[in-house]
Amino acid sequence: MKITSALENNDDLKKNWSEVQNKLKEIYGLDVFKSWIQNVEAKEIQQNSLTLIVKTRFVRDWIVSHYADKILDFFQKLDSSVTRIQFEIHESFYADKKIQTNVVDFTTGSQVLDSKDAGYATNRLDHRLTFSNFVVGESNQLAFSAAKRVSETLGHYNPLFIYGSVGLGKTHILNAIGNELKKTDKKIIYLSAERFMYQFVKSIKNKDTQKFKDVFRNADVLIVDDIQFISGKEVTQEEFFYTFNSLVENQSQVIISCDRAPNDLDRIQDRIKSRLSGGLVIDIQNPDIALRLQILKNRCKTEETYFGKEVLVNDDILSFIANEFKSSIRDMLGVLNRVIASSRIQNKVPTLQDAKVILKDLLNNMQSVVTVEDIQKIVVNYYNLPMSDFLSSRRSRHIARPRQVAMYLAKKLTTKSLPDIGRKFTGRDHTTVIHAIKKIEEMMAADKKFEYEVQDISNKILKSN
């Protein structure tokens, strides 16, 4: 008897927890859900305390500082006996349960398929990804304008094909289009190519392909993310091709994203490639430093409004992050999250040095992007000095000052230690570097013009990368 009731309780707990997870997904969006909530398991309730299992200390700290109040709130609505939450960290927990995690994903998928509504895939749009919080720069300007255009005038470009490498904002733009069109009475289907295939294969198994075809072919707008996924999947390609043709013929709008240009797709039929290229093909390129910085700044603002707490990350750190993490906006934002989390946990404004420590494991894996040599070259150029004078032991002001500027910038823009920096200036001592940094900081504080000058050089260095 006892066993049964324990099991039943456990069932209740699982059910309540998954309901709370869903609530959190609703209010915080898919990104947050996937990053922090999805992999947390409820273990037990004992003495009014709910125990959650997380994978790492870091995740625990992040949840505690961001979501714990809400979790407790929601949970209490379902089970008022709970008054506390505690965490257990199981580093290997998920490795052991990998299979089970997959099963959970699978179930979520089938719920979507079971839904009978014609617009059944629209619920997968992430309402937090909109045009208004998409920061526009040179690298994504065209994609942004085209997306806006299409959401204002359906069929203006058909299909619209947006490509670019991972983490550059494709999914964001596609969701923004979907969210915009959701305000109209159009039938929108938004899904990844992977899910398209999943639903299609499922419909074959269920001998239900007619319904599948009807649903897709009746859409006013079909948005398919990550089309590269259908490479090599012949049957799915076939179905996609027919769906695609019938939609475009009916003047329904099709919007596609991909990690590469249509012509670079391997193992996709030529007729499909040519169909995909038949409207407007646009790429998103790597963001430049200005765009990366702006995205970081906006994200800090969002965090502030979201949590009603000031974000304690200063501009120095933002520049540093923008400068070090260039290839994926997703990774860059992940890094920012990490610094914010740690500043919250320690309740202090991190210095640049703190940030480097927090990010140490990531920085070690990358080559430092700006080198001291780069800085020297640009400084020498800026002040029009011969490099040999610059690196010599001469101390006249017109050489010594630029040298100090270079040392200051080396500290600011690279992860090199003081002794390392000293060595790059023909074996100078780290105290010389400290002196240089102090001197330049003082001068910048006292003299706006000089501050701009250093900023200008700094920008030149960052741009040259």
Q: Does the protein bind ligand ADP through residue 166 (CB under 6 A)? A: yes
Binding string to Mg ion for residues 252 to 281, with x set by CB under 5 A, is what? ------------------------------
Helix axis angle, 430-446 to 448-463, nearest 10°: 120
Please calculate the CA angle 53-12-92 and round it to the nearest 5 degrees. Answer: 20
Tell me whether the omega of the peptide bond preceding residue 159 falls within 30 degrees of 0, making it cis.
yes
CB of 165 to ligand ADP, least distance (A): 7
Residue at token pair 């093909």: 281
Q: Does the protein bind ligand ADP through residue 129 (CB under 6 A)? A: yes
Closest CA to 177 of 167, 168, 186: 186
* From the list Mg ion, ligand ADP, none, partner contacted by residue 172 (C-beta under 5 to 8 A by kind): ligand ADP
CB of 37 to ligand ADP, least distance (A): 16
Helices (H) and strands (E) in the chain, counts: 22, 8
Q: Does the protein bind Mg ion through residue 458 (CB under 5 A)? A: no
CB of 335 to Mg ion, least distance (A): 18
Which CB atom, from 65 or from 192, has the smaller least distance to Mg ion? 192
Which CB atom, from 166 or from 387, has the smaller least distance to ligand ADP? 166
Left (φ > 0), alpha (ψ -120 to 50) or beta: where does 164 sit? Answer: left
Please calculate the CA angle 196-198-202 and round it to the nearest 5 degrees. Answer: 120
Question: Contact at 8 Å (CB) between 265 and 232?
Answer: no
Question: Count of residues for the chain?
Answer: 465
Q: Does the protein bind ligand ADP through residue 330 (CB under 6 A)? A: yes
Q: Which stretch in 164-172, 184-192, 367-375, 422-430 sits in contact with ligand ADP by CB under 6 A?
A: 164-172
Binding string to ligand ADP for residues 420 to 459, with x set by CB under 6 A, is what? ----------------------------------------
* From the list ligand ADP, Mg ion, none, partner contacted by residue 60 (C-beta under 5 to 8 A by kind): none
Please calculate the CA angle 29-33-38 and round it to the nearest 5 degrees. Answer: 155
Choose which of 40, 168, 272, 379 interacts with ligand ADP (CB under 6 A). 168
Binding string to Mg ion for residues 158 to 197, with x set by CB under 5 A, is what? ------------xx--------------------------
Closest CA to 147 of 134, 36, 138, 300: 134
Q: What are phi and psi of 249, to 5 degrees?
A: -65, -35
Which CB atom, from 164 or from 350, has the smaller least distance to Mg ion? 164
Q: Does the protein bind ligand ADP through residue 172 (CB under 6 A)? A: yes
CB of 130 to ligand ADP, least distance (A): 10
Question: Contact at 8 Å (CB) between 67 and 24?
Answer: yes
E-only strand ranges, 253-339? 253-258, 280-283
Closest CA to 439 of 409, 404, 414, 412: 404
d(CA 162, CA 170): 7
Q: Which residue is nearest to ligand ADP (CB)?
A: 169
Q: Does the protein bind ligand ADP through residue 333 (CB under 6 A)? A: yes
Which CB atom, from 322 or from 333, has the smaller least distance to ligand ADP? 333
Question: Contact at 8 Å (CB) between 114 and 268?
Answer: no
Q: Which stretch in 75-83, 90-98, 166-174, 372-380 sits in contact with ligand ADP by CB under 6 A?
A: 166-174
Kindly list the residues in this chain that would bind ligand ADP in the complex (CB under 6 A): 31, 129, 134-135, 140, 164, 166-172, 295, 329-330, 333
Kindly list the residues in this chain that would bind Mg ion in the complex (CB under 5 A): 170-171
